[in-house]
Structure formats: C-alpha cells, structure tokens
Amino acid sequence: MLLGVLALAGLTGCGGEVEDARPGQPVKTRQLAFKEMLKVFEPMGTMLRTQKYEPEKFAGLAAQLMTKRDAPWPHFGAGTNYPPTKAKEGVWSQADQFERERQGFMIATDELLVAAQTKQLADAEKAYFKAYDTCQSCHKRFKEK
C-alpha cells in the first residue's frame, strides 16, 4: 500500500507545470506580464467581434494596454531559455527579427491608442486587428504551441 501511495505521489508530480526557480523568475515574470496584457487586449477584441463596441471603454482599455505593453520584454535576456518557457530558440538566435516583431507590436499599439481616442469603430477595428496580427506573427515565429 505504501508503495502505491508513493507511486501515485510521484505521478502527480510529473503532470504538474514546471516552476520557474531561477533568481528573479524571468520566465514566469514575462509569462505573467503577457497574461496581464491579454486581460485588457482580449476584451477589446470581444467588443469588436460581438458588435458591442463601447468607445469610452475601448479607449480606456487601449490606455491600460499602453501601461502594460513594456513589461515582458526585459525578461527575455540571455540565459532565460529554459522550462517553463514557451519561447522558441529563435528568440535568441534570431534576435534582430525578434526585435523587429517587438517594434512592430509597439508601433501597432501606439496606433491602436490613437485610433481608440477617435471613438470611431472603423478606426478601432483597423488598429486593433493590426495589433492582433503583430501578436500572431511573433507567436507563429517565436512561440511554442
């Protein structure tokens, strides 16, 4: 019976998520920063996809996104390519391309803020989906599924 309990305990540990135990937890920190961005970015997309556009709320979310968008990038430093990362090796071996993707996101979110402030649905949609496309482009190239 004791062996059965120990075996079960060992199996449960195998299925869990890998913890970032490195000093400063750079992988966990950047993952949490991306999740915080999603908390404001996704509601904007939902608003557009469901035709429930609220200009003031959308503009507020765009402003919140601007306060969160810089947080993950400093945590992609040397020596941060280890589990639980979902970043592909290309983040480090193709650093110039990764930087171009990051810059594209920054430009697109700048444009998103400006468009949101116009309160015009067409402007908001165009800018949101441009920013969304920058996320998808970077994920396709640099993130494990």
All domains of the chain, ordered by start, with CATH? 23-71+80-142 (1.20.120.10)
Q: How far apart are CA 34 and CA 84, in angstroms?
A: 14
> What pTM was computed for the model?
0.86
pLDDT tier, 15 (very low <50, low <70, confident <90, very high otherwise): low
Mean pLDDT taken over the chain:
91
According to DSSP, the residues that pair with 143 across neighbouring strands are 87
9 has a pLDDT exceeding 60: no
State yes or no: pLDDT of 18 exceeds 70. Answer: yes
The predicted structure's pLDDT at residue 8: 38
Assess whether pLDDT exceeds 60 at residue 4.
no
